[in-house]
Structure 1
Amino acid sequence: MAGELLIGVLALQGDVREHLAALRSLGVAAEPVRRPSEIDDLDGIVIPGGESTTMSKLMVDFGVYEPLRKRVLDGLPAYGSCAGMIMLASEVLDGRPDQVSLGALDVTVRRNAFGRQVDSFEADVALNGEDFHAVFIRAPWVERVGDDVEVLGRVSAGPSEGRIVAVRQRNVLATAFHPELTGDRRVHRLFVDMARRAKSTED
């Protein structure tokens, strides 16, 4: 059952409450994560939107970066939205030289690809063959995917039509948009299903 899962939401910066609410609405135990000791018992981790360079610095400062990186690379299911996508990527374009990432997704992500905060917008995305109304805020996009990476979503229309904005690689899921800011729980449900499957293989 979903209630047997414990999903953490990295709570150093960004839209943490919205992700917690989305997960709990699906019957999942969801808790904020700020300390290395809170990572050990997780069945999954969500890395929220926010400011990726700030999040990167705080992960190092709070001692969370290395233990989280180890667990994710060892197979802990992870989902990142917007800045979270940047934090999961193996390569980041237009980031700061001292910015770190978890390197769990074999993708190249361009930071702030859609523009600044004032260029935030909403658009329809073709997500797994279905329409998904997505919110983009200083969003990245994916410029390269590795052979192992499944493209789940692209922008459906407009000047950015065809841009990759949702990907999955094994136990890692990422979107350039913010599903936690809408009432549509399909992305969170997909991640919960991924975490449940991963947990069932361990039990």
Structure 2
Amino acid sequence: MIVGILAFHGDFAEHHQVLQSMKIRSLEVRTVEDLHCVTHLILPGGESTVMSKFLESTGAGKEIQKRVSNGSFAVYGTCAGAILLAKKVTGKHAPRALGLLDITVERNAYGTQAQSFEEEISIKGIRTPLRVAFIRAPKITKVGTNVEVLAKHNGDPILVKQGRMLAGTFHPEVRADEAVHTMFLRM
């Protein structure tokens, strides 16, 4: 198993540290060629518009779409990564998403950086509640019929799964918690 982490922009280093603590081999993905040797891919938090332009300009977005469609790897998107996976994105300056996960996401729905917060959440399939960070978080406003909601905050989905795709609006990597990464690696 080799986990790729999109490493053009965002908090990819934090994901790498979590995987390293789990003794999981990871690779910083910066080119289409890097995608060819990974079994799993993490799309980290960061600026979704910048990441979208990178995916489009390098051809990495098309490669991810192809690999997800043929089932050859699993993908986990956190925050901006969840935005990139979505079929539809709303809000100001919505980026071009990959359109893979049957959800609608509202960009920066919880407000500005100053309105970021931490919360204790319960996740289906994980025994203990986790304390996670919501940083300029998106909000999942609609889920398709084939999407499983694994966690909610104030009634809104915050962690969803469809096939071999996992998307969360929060950052478990900021607190170096391994539980969600473990769930992802089992996909």
Range into which the TM-score falls when normalised by the shorter chain = over 0.9
| Residue 60 (1) aligns with residue 53 (2) | no
- Aligned pair count reads 184
Question: 1:53·1:95 contact (CA, 8 Å) conserved in 2?
Answer: no
Please point out which of 80, 89, 92 is paired with 1:92: 89
Alignment of 1:48-127 (within 5 A): 48-75=44-71, 76-96=73-93, 99-127=95-123
Query: What SS does the aligned partner of 1:92 have?
Result: strand
- The offset of 1:95, in angstroms, is 4.8
- Bigger mean CA offset, 36-45 vs 59-68: 59-68
AA in 2 matched with 1:193: R
Q: Which amino acid aligns with 1:91?
A: K
AA aligned opposite 1:170: G
Is residue 2:160 matched to residue 1:167?
A: yes
Q: Match for 1:89: what amino acid?
A: A
Aligned to 2:140: 142
Rounded to whole Å, the distance in 2 between the matches of 1:52 and 1:88 is 10
1:81, distance to aligned residue in structure 2 (A): 0.4
Aligned amino acid, residue 78 of structure 2: S
TM-aligned CA distance change 1:96 to 1:74, over 3 Å:
farther
- d(CA) in 2 for partners of 1:24 and 1:58? 26
Tell me, in whole angstroms, the C-alpha distance in 2 between the residues paired with 1:80 and 1:187.
11
Cα deviation code 1:36-85 (max 9, x no counterpart): 11111210100000010111111122331211221122222000000000
**Taking structure 1 as the reference length, what is the TM-score of the superposition?**
0.87
Which residue identity does 2:144 align to in structure 1?
A: G
| Residue segments in structure 1 that go unaligned for 5+ positions in a row | 156-160, 195-203
Give the RMSD, CA atoms, in angstroms. 1.3
- Structure number with larger C-alpha Rg: 1
Amino acid at match of 1:176: T
Contact 2:78 / 2:171 at 8 angstroms: preserved in 1?
yes
Identity %: 40
CA distance in 1: counterparts of 2:185 and 2:63, whole angstroms? 22
CA contact (8 A) 1:149 1:169 kept: yes
- Give, in whole Å, the separation in 2 of the partners of 1:59 and 1:135: 25
Three-state SS of the structure 1 residue aligned to 2:129 is: strand
1:100 positional shift:
1.6
- Unaligned regions of 5+ residues in structure 2, if any? none
TM-score (norm 2): 0.94
Amino acid aligned to 1:61: S
Paired residue type of 1:185: E
Contact 2:14 2:176 in 1 (8 A): no
Native 8 Å contact 1:6 1:43 kept in 2:
yes
In 2: Cα distance, 1:145 partner to 1:24 partner? 32
